[in-house]
Amino acid sequence: YDWSINDTFTLSPGLRYSQVTRHLNAAPNKVSLAPLYTKAKYSATLPSLTLHAWISDKWAAYAQVAKGFLAPPIDVIETVGSKSLDPETTTNFQIGTSYASDKYTFGADVYYIDFSNLLTVTEVSTDLGNEDTYINAGGAIYSGVEFEGTFAIPGKLSLYGNASYNKATYKHSSVQIAGTPKITAALGLLYGGDEGLYGSLMGKFSGM
């Protein structure tokens, strides 16, 4: 629902219900090679709220808060049957701004995500040896800032750039969560022709 408070501000509350059901029908399962027929169902109610502000015809800003939900992967019921883990849930906060003109566009945002039931991979012993499965690693905090922009170059080309700094740590800890890069960046050329032909040449960095 969009509520136009005045010519500058629009408030958009929302509510979504999400449900995921995973079915496993395996003649030999990966734990014992015995048949396994099981399923797991996950659901969540996800409210959201966005405040949008038009600073000018080309410049806008926004603030958002929303609940998130991610069902555990099927590996969970492959190894522990119907004893499924709770889904990951998040509370997400973000503020940002964007600007667009004929020559260039620019956007920037700052985000903060509070994770509950963060799932992580570990190994468990089975009749066939060690198998990967998921466990609840508790809570985590993801936060960061991101910048993105394009600049139009004569000849139907645009220069694109993106950069972000991200921090992801377990709650009550300074340990960075494995597989989560602190820095990402992208740089490239975009082509858009009048005949509908589109192409891009991109370079990306993700690391640290």
Contact between 107 and 98 under an 8 Å Cβ cutoff? The reply is yes
What is the C-alpha separation between 85 and 80, in angstroms, rounded?
9
Half-sphere exposure of 126 (CA within 13 A, CB side): 18
pLDDT > 90 fraction of the chain, expressed in percent and rounded: 57
> Which pLDDT score is estimated for 33?
77
Distance from CA of residue 167 to its chain's centroid? 14
- Lowest mean pLDDT across 31-35, 64-68, 94-98, 166-170: 31-35
> Which pLDDT score is estimated for 72?
86
Contact between 184 and 206 under an 8 Å Cβ cutoff? The reply is yes
- Distance, first Cα to last Cα, the chain: 41
- Lowest mean pLDDT across 29-43, 99-113, 155-169, 178-192: 29-43
- Lowest mean pLDDT across 32-46, 77-91, 137-151, 170-184: 77-91
Most confident of 5-9, 35-39, 83-87, 170-174: 5-9
pLDDT tens-digit readout, 103-115 = 999 999 999 999 9
- Lowest mean pLDDT across 8-12, 95-99, 153-157: 153-157
Judging by beta carbons within 10 Å of its beta carbon (0-12, 13-18, 19+), is residue 29 exposed, middle or buried?
A: buried
Contact between 119 and 87 under an 8 Å Cβ cutoff? The reply is no
